[in-house]
Structure 1
Amino acid sequence: MSRSDDLLEIQQVLARYAVNITKGDIPGLLAVFTPDGTYSAFGDAYSVELFPELVAAAPKGLFLTGTPALEIDGDTATGTQPLCFVDHSTHDMRIGYYTDTLIRTDDGWRLRTRRMTFIRRNGDHDSGIPHAFERSRT
C-alpha cells in the first residue's frame, strides 16, 4: 500500500468517526476503533465498551472536523485533527483538537487512542472539566 493510500484510508476512518458520532451511529463509531481502543477527555480514558453510555451522556450535535496532520511509520500512525462541535439545540460551539494514535489491522486502519483537547476562550488548551459520567473508565 502506498503512503497516499494510507493517508486516504486514515482520513476516511477519521471522517467516519465524525459522521457516525454526529448521527448517533454507535456500531459505526465502534467500528473505527481497535477492540482495545480508548477515548480520553475530562481527565479520564474510556474503553470502547463504555462508548454507548458515554455517547448517550454527551451533548448531541455536529462534529465538524478538519483535515488531520498525520505521521505514518509502517503500520502505526499519529495525528492531530481540529474539531468544532456545534450543539444541536443551542448552536453553542466547542472547539479543540483530537490527538490520535492509529494502527493498521487486518480490517484496515483503526484508531487505537483518541484524546480530546479543548481550546478555551482565554486561550488555554486542556482536556476538559471532569463531568458526571461515573462508570469505570478503562
Structure 2
Amino acid sequence: MLQGPRKQDRYLLYLAIDVFSRYPVAWRIEYAETTQIAVQMFAAAFEKYGVPLVLHADNGASMRSHALIAALDEAGACRTYSRPRVSDDNPFSESLFKTLKYDSSCPERFDGIGHAREWTEQFL
C-alpha cells in the first residue's frame, strides 16, 4: 500500500513478476482492489508475454474471484495460491514490494496517484 497526500489516501500496487527473471511483467497502481482490474492486468500481460504454465498468487479476493479463475482457466494457466497465514509463500513478490517501499527515493507520501504511478514506473 502506498500513501497519498492525505492520511486516508492509499494506493494499491497490483504486481505480477516472472519468478525466474524477477522481471515485472505487469503492474498497476489503483485506488482499490477489484476483480475487473486484476483480469485486465493479467489479460494484457498474457497478450504481451504469453500465458505462463503456472500462476502463483496470494489469497486476495480478486485473485480468488470467479472471473479471474475463469480467465486463467480459459487461458490455460495452472493456478497455485499462497497458504493462509504463511508470509513466505510468495517471497519474490514480497521482496520486491519491500524493496520498492523502503527504497531511499520512495516518498513517504505521494502527491497523488499519478505521482505514484510515475515513480513506480521509473523504479521498475
Could you say whether these structures have the same fold, taking a TM-score greater than 0.5 normalized by the shorter chain as the test?
Answer: no
- Select the structure that is richer in strand: 1
- Select the structure that is richer in helix: 2
Q: With the length of structure 1 as denominator, give the TM-score of the two structures.
A: 0.25
Q: With the length of structure 2 as denominator, give the TM-score of the two structures.
A: 0.27
